[in-house]
Structure 1
């Protein structure tokens, strides 16, 4: 069980020695020693900084690749949507990829300092056990790190950290808060497996979008780009746009994107223009019919009232209007002066 002076994570000496023999991890530690905050806060000033710094560096090595993945996905979404609004970026992804992107977007917005290792190292380490979201992303980062270590050579990536998963489970089971919830660590790992699958989907769709925004002029001889384009087209099936979404011409094969205020105003103006043209055609045909079939002035006024609406008919029937009063100008509007 951890105390205010002791880290909640317990790592065996042989695992620490293996970390210290890893050149990529030593490069990371050297970078953090210069650029990160290494001073302890007043609450942890009496603690020995070495264990806290080591555990902070391990967490940074786990979390930072996930943060970089999110930033890359955000840049690709901005390029694909031509929008820098944070609320629009999710539209570039579908399905599980969108769920993973939204989860990372919300968490990183709330915990930016923790993800960037900003602040007291001891506070960063203890915050890992503070919420279910912190534990979920930590287990997810462990899953991704283990898969990455298998995909690349040992000299090209950070060492595998399965020992830290055991330390994390032990810290949860002995934590004063989480120990009152039996099986909490298993629950967190299950939710992390789901988030890991969503991030894998996000990585796949990032590759497809990157093929569109960076290699849009690739020739059909580029087999890799062509296959990515085909995958993206298969994923982006035609969708029925909900109310409030702009739909012009043929049904698009790209994900529906919410239009801007100007686009909605232009759509409203087109609809109003069509309605006015229909009224104009009806009035023209009505005038032709009146000229040839209705000889009386009062009958012609009656037909004009029917074409202009219920208010004109009422005034005609009550005798409050004349045959010349039915042609009053309609109210002006911003869309159609």
Structure 2
């Protein structure tokens, strides 16, 4: 709900002064103030960590739209291959399912507590923290997330190793996605690039593996040359995402109803 919504209740100034003298009320108010500050801190950390994943997905969608032939029914994930394709599909799904959560400016406590709502939301934040790396200053929050999961009566410490392992594999997939986005963008910007037909694109990205040694293509040879530029591209993408994190915190019209927590590990 927007902070501009008027409160339906009215208390006179005289009554407010009386409440200021009420010790029980003041003690409770101070306790709630401290709790609110803690939730706001973690709410801001969560938003800062998630914005890069949102922007990576957004840029991947734009590059996929350029790389694939302009034909209806061409799924954007077909522009990528291997683990990058799986990571793109997973990011796309969770960003749709959790849209209200990661963009809303509602109650800080609701946003923070929703992290432990399901395995996908925990994994989402774990991936975000792993991608940020130790130099970002958010490595402490990854440890805090592990502690929260292990101490949670619903999850317990037996679930964290599995969640962390799945998150690590997804993190590698997102890194491959960033790398392939850079490769595709480089080729798309090349004046000699030709948009492949849908049939050719399908064959190229779904070619079965074989044991016959093949000569590396010119595209593969370019990867070594572009590695440094790719690293700069990846770093600038995440850095710019953190810098614009405040712009992403826009309130939405509604909020998602509270749902029961999910322990499913198949999402």
Q: TM-score if structure 2 supplies the norm length? A: 0.58
Q: 1:163 aligns with which of 102, 120, 140?
A: 140
Q: Which residue of 1 aligns with 2:190?
A: 216
CA distance in 2, matches of 1:176, 1:84: 50
Q: Does 1:73 align with 2:60?
A: yes
Whether the 8 Å contact between 2:68 and 2:74 is mirrored in structure 1 is no
Structure of greater Rg: 1
CA distance in 2, matches of 1:251, 1:107: 26
Deviation at 1:86, TM superposition (A): 8.5
Q: Which aligned pairs between 1:128-167 and structure 2 lie closer than 5 A?
A: 128-146=115-133, 149=135, 159-167=136-144
Deviation at 1:98, TM superposition (A): 0.3
Q: 2:97 aligns with which of 110, 130, 147?
A: 110
Whether the 8 Å contact between 2:83 and 2:176 is mirrored in structure 1 is yes
Q: Does 1:175 align with 2:152?
A: yes
Q: TM-score if structure 1 supplies the norm length? A: 0.47
Deviations 1:183-206 (A, max 9, x none): 211211111110011111111110
Q: Which residue of 2 aligns with 1:207?
A: 182
CA distance in 2, matches of 1:160, 1:136: 19
CA distance in 2, matches of 1:143, 1:128: 16
Q: 1:94 aligns with which of 74, 81, 84?
A: 81
CA distance in 1, matches of 2:203, 2:74: 22
Q: Which aligned pairs between 1:5-20 and structure 2 lie closer than 5 A?
A: none
Deviation at 1:173, TM superposition (A): 1.6
Structure 2 residue runs of 5 or longer lacking an equivalent are 5-28, 207-267
Whether the 8 Å contact between 2:124 and 2:167 is mirrored in structure 1 is yes
CA distance in 1, matches of 2:52, 2:127: 11
Of structures 1 and 2, the one scoring higher in RCO (CA 8 A, sep 6+) is 2
CA distance in 2, matches of 1:251, 1:209: 13
Distance 1:175 1:252, change over 3 A: closer
Q: Which residue of 1 aligns with 2:171?
A: 196
Deviation at 1:117, TM superposition (A): 3.9
CA distance in 2, matches of 1:37, 1:138: 26
CA distance in 2, matches of 1:251, 1:57: 41
- Residues matched between the structures, number: 178
Structure 1 residue runs of 5 or longer lacking an equivalent are 1-35, 40-44, 150-158, 219-228, 230-235, 237-244, 257-337
Whether the 8 Å contact between 1:37 and 1:121 is mirrored in structure 2 is no
Whether the 8 Å contact between 1:67 and 1:115 is mirrored in structure 2 is no
Whether the 8 Å contact between 2:80 and 2:177 is mirrored in structure 1 is yes
Q: 1:187 aligns with which of 148, 154, 162?
A: 162
Deviation at 1:116, TM superposition (A): 1.8
Following superposition, which runs of at least 4 residues in structure 1 exceed 6 angstroms of deviation? 36-39, 84-87, 250-253
Whether the 8 Å contact between 1:76 and 1:210 is mirrored in structure 2 is yes
